[in-house]
Amino acid sequence: MKLDKRFYLRDDVVEIACDLLGKTLITNYNGQLTSGLITETEAYAGKGDKASHAYGGRKTKRTEIMFRQGGIAYIYLCYGIHSLFNIVTNKENIPHAILIRGILPVDGKDIMMKRTRKATIDKNFGVGPGKVSKALGIHFSDSGRDLTGERIWVEDRGIIIENNSILITSRIGIDYAEEDAKLPYRFVIKDPERYI
């Protein structure tokens, strides 16, 4: 069930981003188990991708995480407010990452409602990368955490997403990336509610 290292160590980050649709992202903080079906992802293809923080091999204290072996979390603060959760893939020194942009709540809905201070779970509850982290309780101090451990992990619960149920588009909020802004690296499940 729990995805192992081999899933994350593959070469093609775009393929892995697509494969993550329909998998379940789970966190367990102090026994508070929460999870959601991954409904939206974006691939960031490392050194050659102008949209990536690691473009050109740029390695800093923050982005150094992406240069490690795949299967760990890369989390950073955006707009001073939002922790954005990424999954690092590929082998060491190839800084590929996948941004999780949307989930559909599955386990621990009451806990997630408390974390987000929402009274209801509507269609857009877990849509948006900042909201994913908020709902699952992920903090940027979790950056570098192993995703085969007991705090944050991804499971395959046997849900199959057919190709014709996947929308492929360009990535969001990366206009600065020039020609790479157009790459079809964003994957979204159409009408994900039917899978839970």
Paired tokens of 145: 């955490």
Rounded to the nearest whole angstrom, what is the least distance from the CB of residue 148 to DNA in the complex?
A: 20
Query: x/- site string to DNA, residues 84 to 103, per CB under 7 A?
Result: x-x----------x-x----
CB of 125 to DNA, least distance (A): 9
76: number of CA atoms within 13 Å, CB side? 17
| Helix boundaries (H) for the chain | 5-8, 13-19, 109-116, 129-136
CA distance 193 to 189: 9
Looking at the Cβ atoms of 54 and 147, the one nearer to DNA is 54
In whole angstroms, give the CA distance from residue 144 to residue 88. Answer: 9
How many whole angstroms separate alpha carbon 9 and alpha carbon 173?
Answer: 27
Which position among 33, 77, 167, 168 is part of the footprint of DNA (CB under 7 A)?
Answer: 77
For the bound state, the minimum distance from the C-beta of residue 77 to DNA, rounded and expressed in Å, comes to: 5
Does residue 131 interact with DNA by CB under 7 A? yes
The yes or no reply on residue 104 touching DNA (CB under 7 A) is no
Q: Of these, 53, 70, 112, 138, which contacts DNA (CB under 7 A)?
A: 53
Distance in Å, CB of 130 to DNA, minimum: 3
Q: Which is nearer to DNA, 149 or 173 (CB)?
A: 173
Query: C-alpha dihedral over 167, 146, 105, 137, to 10 degrees?
Result: -120
Is 62 a binding residue for DNA by CB under 7 A? The answer is yes
